Amino acid sequence: MHEVSLAAALLPVVLEIAAEHGTRVAAITVQAGELAGVVPASLELAFRGLAVGTAAEDAALVIETVPVRARCRRCGLEFAVDDVVFLCPVCDVADCETVDGTELLLTRVELSDAG
Ligand SMILES: [Zn+2]
């Protein structure tokens, strides 16, 4: 249920970009890592609620889910993680760090031409 706080963190960033250009937000693209446990529908709902009355009120929200990736500390191999099993396919050890899939990332903001 942290979608509300994620949306609350996302909105000011988007609004600031729109304000800099003196226009409204047409579309927003975010990448949500699988490990972040973000439910896209919940995030969209939270964002919609918060964006009412702002320059992002009519913005389309595109949420892309990013697979979890890990890097082996022994051989440095980066690999996609299935079922949260952090096991290097080369070394067969679980001595890995997560490199992707844990965060919500704002990747793209499209501004409206209408102003
Ligand atoms: Zn390895």
Domain chopping of the chain, boundaries: 3-111
The rounded Å distance from CA 87 to ligand 1 centre is 8
The rounded Å distance from CA 78 to ligand 1 centre is 8
The rounded Å distance from CA 74 to ligand 1 centre is 5
Neighbours of ion ligand 1 (CB under 5 A): 72, 74-75, 77, 88, 90-91
DSSP 113: S
Of 27, 112, 104, the C-alpha closest to 66 is 104
Top CATH class of 3-111 equals alpha beta
Q: Is the pTM of this model over 0.85?
A: no
pLDDT tier, 112 (very low <50, low <70, confident <90, very high otherwise): very high
pLDDT of residue 35: 81
Q: What is the mean pLDDT of the chain?
A: 90
The tens digit of pLDDT for each residue in 5-56 reads 999 999 999 999 999 999 999 999 999 888 888 889 999 999 999 999 999 9
The rounded Å distance from CA 69 to ligand 1 centre is 13
| Residue 65 backbone phi and psi in degrees, to 5 | -90, 130
